[in-house]
Structure 1
Amino acid sequence: MKKAFRALFILLFFWLSLALYFTNRIMYMKKKDENFILKREKDAGRYNPDEFDSLPQREVDIPSPFGYTIKAVLVEPHETSRYIIITHGVTETKINSIKYANLFLERGFNALIYDHRRHGESGGKTTSFGHYEKFDLKTIVDWLKKEKGPNLELGIHGESMGAATMLLYAGLLEDGADFYIADCPFSDFKEQLAYLIKKDFKLIPGLLLPIGDTLLRLRDKYSIRNVSPISVIENIKHPVLFIHSQKDDFILPTMTKELFEQKKGPKMLYLAANGRHAQSFNENPADYARVVDEFLQKYVQQPMPN
């Protein structure tokens, strides 16, 4: 009897320890070194500090509803009411958003880039893969609309976690932009974690996920079941351009296909031939720009009726 009790205790301790490690990986996922991001983008020619710094811009501190400061940069070279907000992926910073901002600056938009909570210069203690981040995005949208007035024409571009955050914002809180571009989002956080547990840890997710979710609810006050863009995608009425690399093995392109299929109303889908996760723009810049142009011309820059 004692041996059976001891074995049960050891097994329980093992799974609790694994769940603790699992939730630590979620809440405190190791970020890329900021100097590495800066050097990577500069060396690839996607960020030219002299050119970018020469643009009319200002740093903005936006208070998060959770008590920290969101650090943003508002770039305004154009006399226009057309703006794009760029939301970066997990482990990245707003420096990674500059390449997308430049894409829209070239098309007559002004741009706002910012660091997610616990990334770059922004505050915040944990990463929640869209749960808390969606409220920060709403705060940023609200701030920009208040700053620029009621005639603002707004788009939001998100990459990876930033794309999931954007879809959660639009589907759960408010469909507050005129268009969205979702680059390699996951469709459901629980499903994404299950895939990574099997792929990276060679474990059965059905055993780890319930314990991990319970710990996450205790430690960070939300459930992974609530981080599900696919469950709210039907609420988004404005146009969405879905983008994914066909060779992505971190977030599978089938997730974007499912989101595209479930989205009602105006939408487009672009599956990039080259590149892995979050590399659609980097590896297919001309095609990426072409598809964005087609999307804007079809749904955003429509000609005025005669």
Structure 2
Amino acid sequence: MKKALRALFLSFLFTFSLGFYFTNRLMYMKKKDERLIVKREKEAGRFDPERFELLPKREVTIDSPFGYPIKALLVEPHDSNRYVIISHGVTETKINSIKYMNLFLERGFNAIIYDHRRHGESGGKTTSFGHYEKFDLKAVIDWLKKEKGPTLTLGIHGESMGAATMLLYGGMLEDGADFYIADCPFSDLKEQLSYQLKKEYKMVPALLIPLADFILRLREKYSIMHVSPISVIENIKQPILFIHSENDDFILPSMTRELYEKKQGSKMLYLAVNGRHAQSFNENPEDYRRVIDEFLAKYLENV
């Protein structure tokens, strides 16, 4: 009897420890070296420090509703009420957003680039893959509208987790932008984690996901089930351009297809031929620009 109880206890301890380890991997996902991000973007020609330095801009600190600072840059080379906010992916910083910012600056927009919680210069101790980040994005949007007035034309561009964050924000019945561009978002965090567990770790997610979700609820006060852009996509009435690389094997392009199919009303879909995860612009720059132009021409003329 004692041996059976001991074995049961050890089994429980091992399983709980595995769940705790898994939630640690989520909450404290290893970030890229910020110096290497700068080096990568410079060497690829996507970040020119001299050109960037000449842009009229100012540093902005926005209060997160969770008590830490959100560090942003407001870049305003144009006398225009058109703005775009760039929402970067997990493990990146606002330096990765500069290439997208430049794309919109070339099209007459001003821009805000900012660091998500626990990334770059912003505060925050954990990553939540869009759950808490969506409220920070709302804080950035609210700050910009208070600063520039309610008549501005606003777009949001998000990449990977930043795209999921953007869709979760819009799905809160906020829909506070005039258009959205979702580049390689996941449609549902539970499905994404299940896919990665099977693909990378050869693990069966049926037991680990519910356990990790239980532990995450205790530690972070939210559920993996809450991080589901596809469950709220129908709340977004404004136009969305969905982008994904056909060869993405980290977040499958089928997730973007599902989001596109479920989105009601104005929408476009672009599946890039070249590149893997978050490489649609890097590997298909001319097509990416063309699709952006087609989307803006089609839907922004009525804004």
Alignment of 1:129-140 (within 5 A): 129-140=129-140
Matches of 1:230 and 1:11, distance apart in 2: 36
1:126-164 Cα deviation digits (max 9, x unpaired)? 000000000000010000001011110000000000000
1:168-201 Cα deviation digits (max 9, x unpaired)? 0001140000000000000000111111111111
**Residue type of the partner of 1:215?**
I
Q: Please name the residue that 1:288 is paired with.
A: 288
Matches of 2:295 and 2:194, distance apart in 1: 33
Moved more, 155-164 or 13-22: 13-22
1:33-60 Cα deviation digits (max 9, x unpaired)? 0000000000000000100110110000
Matches of 1:150 and 1:202, distance apart in 2: 50
Matches of 1:181 and 1:204, distance apart in 2: 33
Matches of 2:188 and 2:217, distance apart in 1: 17
Q: Please name the residue that 2:258 is paired with.
A: 258
Structure 1 vs Structure 2 CA RMSD: 0.9
Matches of 2:198 and 2:9, distance apart in 1: 25
Matches of 1:106 and 1:50, distance apart in 2: 17
Q: Please name the residue that 2:194 is paired with.
A: 194
Give 1:7 deviation, angstroms: 2.3
SS at match of 2:177: coil
Q: Please name the residue that 2:15 is paired with.
A: 15
Give 1:203 deviation, angstroms: 1.1
**Residue type of the partner of 1:155?**
G
Q: Please name the residue that 2:241 is paired with.
A: 241
SS at match of 1:58: strand
1:213-258 Cα deviation digits (max 9, x unpaired)? 0100111110000000000000000000000000101100000000
Give 1:301 deviation, angstroms: 3.0
Alignment partner of 1:182 is 2:182 = yes
Matches of 1:49 and 1:173, distance apart in 2: 38
Alignment partner of 1:85 is 2:85 = yes
Give 1:202 deviation, angstroms: 1.0
Give 1:110 deviation, angstroms: 0.2
Matches of 1:8 and 1:243, distance apart in 2: 48
Which runs of 5 or more residues in structure 1 are unaligned? none
Give 1:5 deviation, angstroms: 2.2
Q: Please name the residue that 2:279 is paired with.
A: 279
Aligned-pair identity (%): 75
SS at match of 2:274: coil
When normalised by structure 1's length, the TM-score is 0.98
Moved more, 34-43 or 191-200: 191-200
Alignment partner of 1:104 is 2:81 = no
**Residue type of the partner of 1:229?**
P
Matches of 1:17 and 1:243, distance apart in 2: 38
Matches of 1:284 and 1:17, distance apart in 2: 43
**Residue type of the partner of 1:6?**
R
**Residue type of the partner of 1:142?**
D
Q: Please name the residue that 1:218 is paired with.
A: 218
SS at match of 1:96: helix
Matches of 1:128 and 1:14, distance apart in 2: 24
Alignment of 1:31-50 (within 5 A): 31-50=31-50
Give 1:9 deviation, angstroms: 1.9
Which runs of 5 or more residues in structure 2 are unaligned? none
Q: Please name the residue that 1:170 is paired with.
A: 170
Q: Please name the residue that 1:206 is paired with.
A: 206
Matches of 2:216 and 2:3, distance apart in 1: 31
SS at match of 2:256: helix
**Residue type of the partner of 2:168?**
L
SS at match of 2:171: helix
When normalised by structure 2's length, the TM-score is 0.99
Write out the 4+ residue segments of structure 1 that deviate beyond 4 Å after TM superposition: none
